[in-house]
Structure 1
Amino acid sequence: MTTIKEYNALGEELERILMLRTMPIAVKMLKDESEIPEGAIRPKRDRGYHLAQCQVFALNRRKGDTIAMLKEDHWCWAPLMGYGIVEDPHDEFVNRHAFFPKFPEGKYTGILSGPLKTANFEPDMVLVYSNTAQLRHLVSAVKMHDRELVHSDFDPIDSCVYSVVPTIEKREYRITIPDPGEYERAMAGEDEMIFSIPAEKLSGLLEALRQTEKMGGSYRQQTPVLTPDFPRPPFYKDLFT
């Protein structure tokens, strides 16, 4: 079983090996308020304001804050519905837009998140905000280590739900497009995507990324260059000559 300190070390390594601009995020769903660790910020209680969940992820990865969000801290309806924190209001607008996956109502009371490299709690999953080239290396590492492809559902909205619920429910990798709120209010870059990792798969993912680095094909080692008649691996020649 991976310890908290080992998760911290994996967070440091993931950030280094992919040259991430922001910190990987540890995420844990809370069944009870007593699970909130010492030092975690409660936005309404501690700072006198509410936050959208995408803003919390921005503070986690950019400022290094660890934040616990219960019902009274949220300023956006989608995570309250998606995380099962409130009952379905049977509202016409909500029913028209809430296609997203949901946890069972009442299963969780809140969500805890913070930088993986400093988290003082055991995560259920990890979020990585990356550019598309870094994302390619993550997907390649999944293929190398797990011998599987990454499957996702793409929706232009509700990224705080799509990036969390399926990964925790199904224990699978996911790719999510940051929604408009992430751009407008939470500082997501136009070149960023979200990669979701079940906590128990993180160690194997890093193992594959290390192996790629040893072979000289890591993100930091690749230099774009357009060369005609570039040198080809032997199997290319065997197939096409």
Structure 2
Amino acid sequence: MTYDIIGNELKELLGLKGSPVAVKLVKNKADIPAGYDKVPEKSRHCQFVQDARLTGTKGYATKEEHMCKGGAGVMGIEPIPESVAKGNTYHKLGNFKTAEGALDTVNAIPKSKGSYYASLYSPLETAEFEPDVVVIVATPRQALRLSQAYLHEKGGRVSSDYSGIQSLCADAVVAVRERGVPNMTLGCNGSRKFSGIAEEEVILGIPPKNLPAIAEALKMFKDKWG
């Protein structure tokens, strides 16, 4: 699939701020494409997505570069810290009234079935690899158009499965990669605080296989609805 055309079409047709972001989980260093360097600074998955989206950054992050160990853990880049896996972290932060509620929630969070060496990032229009997921940060209206475009061909429903924690990692990448269908999420305290996801923005993870039909539907919508 040629992502340069589709990436630019999505930006233009939706009026996106920045780019759709290609994300891939790679098994070993040999899977890193030529020209993709390790990210220069330690940060969080949500920030790596934002860097690719807003500044065109391309690169990969191993467990050493991932500061958010919960995010790296659900993506399979390193083991999930015990305090996160048992819900203690989110209970202490005040996300949940009880420890049991915190544990039930983290047990339900999507998690990678395999183990991975690194997460790989690029703006979609310059991606030189086959993404696992394309992450789009959008306004609600843009998310509406994406949802309508996804459903245009066959109908159905769009999932919005989230819990307000581990949003851009578990909800927008792992859930979509494992299930093979889009998912919409609202961000989390961390992604909004540390990576600048704005109040008026939501996040969608989309399987790459769906992008050609989505782009074609968006063109039709533009012709019919303006």
Using structure 1 for the length normalisation, give the TM-score: 0.81
Q: In structure 1, what is the Cα distance between the partners aligned to 2:57 and 2:36? A: 8
Q: Compared with structure 1, are the counterparts of its residues 93 and 59 closer, same or farther at alpha carbon in structure 2 (3 Å cutoff)? A: closer
Q: In structure 2, what is the Cα distance between the partners aligned to 1:174 and 1:37? A: 27
Confirm whether residue 20 of structure 1 aligns to residue 16 of structure 2. Answer: yes
Q: Compared with structure 1, are the counterparts of its residues 88 and 52 closer, same or farther at alpha carbon in structure 2 (3 Å cutoff)? A: closer
- What amino acid maps onto 2:71 in structure 1? P
1:151 shift after superposition = 1.3
Give the equivalent residue in structure 1 for 2:101.
Answer: none
Which runs of 5 or more residues in structure 1 are unaligned? 222-241
Offset from partner CA, 1:29-88 (integer Å, 9 cap, x none) = 101111112222313xxx3x3111111011000110012111111101112210122235
Aligned length: 207
Q: In structure 2, what is the Cα distance between the partners aligned to 1:73 and 1:171? A: 27
Q: CA RMSD in A?
A: 1.5
Identity %: 29
Give the equivalent residue in structure 1 for 2:103.
Answer: none
Give the equivalent residue in structure 2 for 1:202.
Answer: 211
Equivalent position SS for 2:86: helix
Offset from partner CA, 1:177-211 (integer Å, 9 cap, x none) = 11112221111110000111101111011111111
Confirm whether residue 95 of structure 1 aligns to residue 59 of structure 2. Answer: no
Equivalent position SS for 1:51: coil
Q: Verify the 8 A CA contact 1:55 1:186 in the aligned structure 2.
A: yes
Which residue, out of 40, 55, 67, partners 2:59?
67
Which residue, out of 86, 93, 107, partners 2:78?
86
Q: Compared with structure 1, are the counterparts of its residues 25 and 88 closer, same or farther at alpha carbon in structure 2 (3 Å cutoff)? A: closer
Q: Verify the 8 A CA contact 2:33 2:129 in the aligned structure 1.
A: yes
Q: Compared with structure 1, are the counterparts of its residues 31 and 92 closer, same or farther at alpha carbon in structure 2 (3 Å cutoff)? A: closer
Using structure 2 for the length normalisation, give the TM-score: 0.86
Give the equivalent residue in structure 2 for 1:152.
Answer: 160
Q: Verify the 8 A CA contact 1:142 1:149 in the aligned structure 2.
A: no
Equivalent position SS for 1:72: coil
Give the equivalent residue in structure 1 for 2:171.
Answer: 162
1:142 shift after superposition = 1.6
Offset from partner CA, 1:70-126 (integer Å, 9 cap, x none) = 11111011122101222355x2453115331111252x2221111001111121221
Greater CA deviation, 198-207 or 176-185?
176-185
Q: Verify the 8 A CA contact 1:26 1:119 in the aligned structure 2.
A: yes
